[in-house]
Amino acid sequence: MNLFLFTLLSGLVSGALYALSALGVSLVAGLMRVVNFSHGEFYIFGAYLSYVFGIVFGLQPWIAMSIAVLIMFLCGLILQWILIRPIYKNQSNALVTTFILSIVLQNIAMIVFGPNPKKPPNYIDGVVRIFGFFEFGAQRLMAGAIAFVILACVLLLVWKTNFGRAIRAVAQDRDMAEAIGINAGWVNSVGFAFSVALAAAAGVLVAPIFPVTPNAGESVTLAAFVVLVFGGVGSIRGCLWGGLILGLVEKFGISYLSSMYSQIFGFVLLVAVLLMRPTGMYGSKV
Amino acid sequence: MSAIVAAIEIHKQFGGNRVLRGVNLTVQKREILALVGPNGSGKSTLFNVIAGALCPESGTLLLNGEEIFIKHPHQACALGIARTFQVPKPFLHLTCLDNVRVANKKPQTDLMHLLELVQLTDKAQSLAKHLNISERKRLDLARALATDPQILLLDEPMAGMTGAESEQFSVLLHKIRDHFGIAIVWIEHVIAAVLKTADRLSVLVDGKMIVSGQPHLVMKDARVIEAYLGV
Amino acid sequence: MAAKFKLNFILICAIGLFSFCPNFVSAYSLHVLIIGIYYAVMALAWNFLAGQAGLLVFSQAAFAAMGAYASGLFILHSGCPIWSGLIFATAVTGIVGALLGALCRKLNGTYLALVTLSFAEIVRIVITNEDRWTRGTFGLQVPGLLTEYSKVHYFYLFLSLFVIVLFGSKWIGRSRFGFKMLAIKDDSDAAESLGINTARVRTIAFALSAMASGLAGATYAHYLGLATPEMGSLGEMFLILSMTYVGGIGTSVGPAVGAIVLEVAYEQLRDFGQYHLLVFAALTLFVVRFMPAGFSSLVGVFRTLKKDPESKATT
């Protein structure tokens, strides 16, 4: 019973973080029809920056994390302007370009930070006793909780604010949105930067638990894609459900089936979903 | 009755939306049948069912008296049902001649003759992406003919054509009907063209076929007038 | 028409000249060239799907790995002669390729990329984890194809494979099947309506591409004496992809040229130490961003400048 509850909580926490991570990809895909292969690299750079400010400069963990996310947001703006904006109309080109970009970023990470794992400082220590059943890392719990909070905030942002409306308008029909006065180019820029920041946020939250290496981005990207396929493009609720399901399937798979094949569960899930519903569970075709 | 294609009691719905509610349609050999109806009446859906792009919930399709079951459009084509698209879909990176060549089924078909028929001989070696919309529609037509069909389904071919172009197209349809001896089913909104060109007119309203017959008589039918102008 | 014959003639001459290489280069350079030819075959196989059929898949490298391990394991456990391993590898990858193609028959763009990518990762993870059979990340030692190790003989072996795949893909490209692939690439709905069984064409294309990769992978493993899970990694996929794009995706020879040129360049860049892969990737990014038709487009420009009226007929 203990194992079941532990796995359940583990899966939920994991799921929330997957959802957070996938949110960025979903946002960009919905907005610009570009699926960003280099998503995982933004995650690890967020983590690396958090490490730099937290360990190398010795700043307070929360401050280091916030600065890291902010810097990544700015980088996102620049990258969008140089690379993404010219190519977003051509889907295949976008796929290939972001794939190559991910290789470039991985190599930069390798050169600058080296192959050894880097771990930003813990932002909270200790364990929490869950209903007297078992112990769970406090930091992991906090990471999951913050992820949920961020998700809720994004949900509010997209549905209740003017900027959110603008995003939804451009995602549905760019030309129409421009016709009613929305600056689609600016929305795209901010949207992309925002998605980079979300990836970085996931990175800074998780890195103290799982230190990052230059290659770590790959599995983050792939996990985000699994969630994307499951939840549909541009659907926040889809991301949430997709993320939670992925998290739960993975953790239950590890606990009860095999820990060696932990990475496979996500892929098998993705293939299964796409075979049944070629447009993903919720969303429309990319 | 030498009906080439008969659709009997075709039902098709999308989710809760019942688009076709028991449609009956027959098409004879060497006949130009125009299919008209208000927007949303289900004309394109019916088309797609006959062409094999959609599966009906219930109903029967007969080809030359025999029941057929089509799961994929290429099966429909193999059976002799050819179609064009409302927005032409040529193979942009192939030449006009190659476009027709890909569709061609019989090795001995004179492909240039087909291009001649649609007046695209001078564009035979041009890439399809350089064609204007009227030329693309004609290429679509030539391509469909190359598949050696028994019945040709045309989806609003005259949309966006000038008066002169529509005239030419009407003449072309008659030529095809007489020369190839095939049946043509044609969705159209330009009623004037229909009255001039079609042998028979079927009116589809709200997923049901309400009347079918001689174009002039049908257009005077009270039910048709009500459907277009009234409720 | 004349232009096509001219190109083939030039090609045959070039390959003929190239086959005299072993007399003039060092053993190390020959090794690099062999690797270049391996990638040329892989690039051509990927181009068959991505360039000619418009299916951007990420499973190419995985099939090479699959072929390598299939051949190695078959020979090691069945005691059959070494060449039968290659046949086995080709058969296995052909079947799995067809299955994958059938699975993906309705998928396009991003979803196709994701499924094929997932497939590649599943293959790599299974190979890595089942180390009782595959020896995991240590790699599987496989016997050489030739009883006596001779780089020169291996060079000719790879060159033969390359010639088969090159002219094979050209021939198929110009056949009726090739036309169907082009039609599906341009507009699969229209192709369906014209009687083309898109599902079948795609499945066959997948199988052919997979077989070429599987055979290449198996041959490569036997040459190196080792099959590793890395052969099927995304990093390898990146190399294949970039070689094809730089050379010219969709063209019949571009990917092969791109592969050999880039492989040689890659080795030269080793002097840069850590930076060489970065330079490589940045170069590829530049090409994809500013010259998506690859360097073959330059050749096209050159031809037009020569004012050859038949230059409109591309390869």
Each residue's pLDDT tens digit, C218-269:
999 999 988 999 899 888 999 999 899 888 888 888 899 999 988 988 888 7
pLDDT of residue C313: 42
Residue of C174, C188, C193 for testing the chain B interface, max B β-carbons within 10 Å: C193
Return phi, psi of residue A274, to 5°: -65, -30
d(CA C197, CA A283): 27
Share of chain A above pLDDT 70, in %: 94
Taking phi first (over 0 means left), then psi (-120 to 50 degrees means alpha), and beta for anything else, what does residue C270 get? alpha
Above 60 in pLDDT, residue A286?
Answer: no
Confidence tier at C105 by pLDDT (50, 70, 90):
confident
Residues of C in contact with B98 (CB under 8 A): 179
Q: Return d(Cα A143, Cα A150) in angstroms, integer.
A: 10
Chain C, 86-105: which have a CB under 8 Å from a chain A CB?
103
Chain C adjacent subunits, 3+ CB pairs under 8 A: A, B
pLDDT at A275 over 80: no
Which range (B90-94, B216-220, C116-120) has the least confidence?
B216-220
Q: Domain for residue A264, yes or no?
A: no
Confirm or reject contact between B59 and chain C (CB < 8 A): no
Region of poorest pLDDT, from A134-143, B78-87, C25-34, C203-212: A134-143
Between vectors from CA C103 to CA C100 and to CA C108, what angle results, nearest 5°?
A: 100
Q: What angle do CA C45, C47, C48 make, to 5 degrees?
A: 65
Q: Can you tell me the distance from the alpha carbon of A130 to that of C203, in angstroms, rounded to the nearest whole number?
A: 52
Average pLDDT over residues C77-85: 85
Closest CA to C254 of C297, C206, C284: C297
Angle of helix C234-247 versus helix C109-129 axis, rounded to 10: 140
**Which of B89-98, C21-30, C42-51, C100-109 bottoms out in mean pLDDT, i.e. has the lowest?**
C21-30
CA angle, residues A124, A130, A136, in degrees to nearest 5: 45
The more confidently predicted of residues A160 and C203 is C203
For residues A117 and A48, give the distance between their C-alpha atoms in angstroms, rounded to a whole number: 10
| Cα gap C234→C62, rounded to integer Å | 9
**B95 Cβ partners below 8 Å, 6+ apart?**
B124, B125, B126, B127, B128
Domain count, chain A: 1
Please check whether residue B36 is in contact with residue B191, taking contact to mean a CB–CB distance below 8 angstroms: yes
pTM of the model: 0.86
Of B168-177, C97-106, C132-141, C170-179, the one with minimum mean pLDDT is C132-141
- In chain B, what residues touch C187 (CB-CB under 8 Å)? 89-92
Residue C15 CA to residue C165 CA, distance in Å, equals 13
Nearest to A166 by CA among A35, A36, A74, A31: A31
For C286-307, the DSSP string reads: HHHHH-TT-THHHHHHHHHHTT
Q: How far apart are CA C212 and CA C61, in angstroms?
A: 11
Angle ∠(B176,B179,B182) on CA atoms, nearest 5: 60
Selected for mutation to probe chain C from B75, B84, B89 (highest C CB count within 10 Å) is: B89
| Per-residue pLDDT tens digits for A94-153 | 788 888 889 889 989 988 998 888 888 888 887 777 776 777 888 888 888 899 899 899
Residue A32 confidence (pLDDT) above 60: yes
Could you tell me which chains touch chain A, where touching means 3 or more CB pairs under 8 A?
C
**What's the rounded Cα separation, in Å, for the pair B76 and C226?**
51
Contact assignment for C192 to B73 by CB distance below 8 Å? yes
| Contact assignment for C195 to B103 by CB distance below 8 Å | yes
Residue A238 domain-assigned (yes or no): no
| Mean pLDDT score, A220-234 | 82
* For residue C42, pLDDT beyond 90: yes
Query: Domains of chain B (ranges plus CATH)?
Result: 3-80+150-229 (3.40.50.300), 88-148 (no CATH)
Q: Which domain holds residue A29?
A: 15-217
Interface contact B77-C195, CB threshold 8 A: yes
pLDDT at residue A258 greater than cutoff 90: no
- For range C18-35, the mean pLDDT: 85
pLDDT of residue A70: 93
Residue scoring higher pLDDT (C22 or B125): B125
Chain centroid to Cα A28, Å, comes to 11
Contact with chain C for residue A270, Cβ under 8 A: yes
pLDDT score of C180: 93
CA distances from A227 to C113, C170, C177 (A): 15, 40, 37
Residues 6+ apart with CB under 8 A from C219: C38, C86, C145, C157, C158, C161
Please list every residue in chain B whose beta carbon sits closer than 8 Å to the beta carbon of residue C191: 91, 102
The pLDDT, as a whole number, for residue A285 is: 40
Domain presence at residue A77 = yes
Q: In this predicted model, what pLDDT tens digit does every residue of C149-167 receive, in sequence order? A: 788 888 989 999 999 999 9
Give the C-alpha separation, A83 to C288, whole Å: 11
Tell me, yes or no, if B91 comes closer than 8 A to chain C by beta carbon. yes
Gap between the Cα atoms of B48 and B19, Å rounded: 12
pLDDT at C66 over 90: yes
Q: Which residue has the higher pLDDT, A136 or C3?
A: A136
Question: Is residue A84 a part of any domain in this protein?
Answer: yes
Q: Which residues 128-167 of B are in CB contact (within 8 Å) with C?
A: 143-144, 146-147
CB pairs under 8 A between A and C: 94
Say whether residue C32 is in contact with chain A using an 8 A CB cutoff. Answer: no
**Residue A261 is assigned to a structural domain of this protein:** no
Long-range contacts made by residues A133-140, C-beta under 8 angstroms, separation at least 24? A133/A1, A133/A2, A133/A5, A133/A6, A134/A2, A134/A5, A134/A6, A136/A6, A136/A9, A136/A10, A137/A209, A139/A208, A139/A209, A140/A10, A140/A13, A140/A209
What pLDDT does A48 receive? 92
Q: How far is CA B67 from CA A23, B5, B53, B72, in A?
A: 50, 10, 17, 16
The one-character DSSP state at B199 is S
Contacts of A30 in chain C (CB under 8 A): none
Instruction: Answer for the pair C101, C206: CB distance below 8 angstroms, yes or no.
Output: yes
Best residue in C180, C194, C311 for a mutation probing chain B (most B CBs within 10 Å): C194
- In a domain? residue A268: no
Can you tell me which residue has the tokens 């990146």? C238
Strand, helix or coil for residue B58: strand
- What CA–CA distances, in Å, run from C274 to A42, A107, C29, C42, C268? 21, 8, 21, 25, 13
CA distance C88 to C77: 13
Q: Work out the average pLDDT over A4-24.
A: 88
Q: Is the pLDDT of residue A49 over 80?
A: yes
Confidence (pLDDT) at A89: 66
Q: What b/e string do you get for A30-57 counting C-beta neighbours within 10 Å, with b at 16 or more?
A: bbbbbbbbbbbbbbbbbbbbbbbbbeee
* ipTM given for this complex: 0.83
C153 touches chain A (CB under 8 A): no
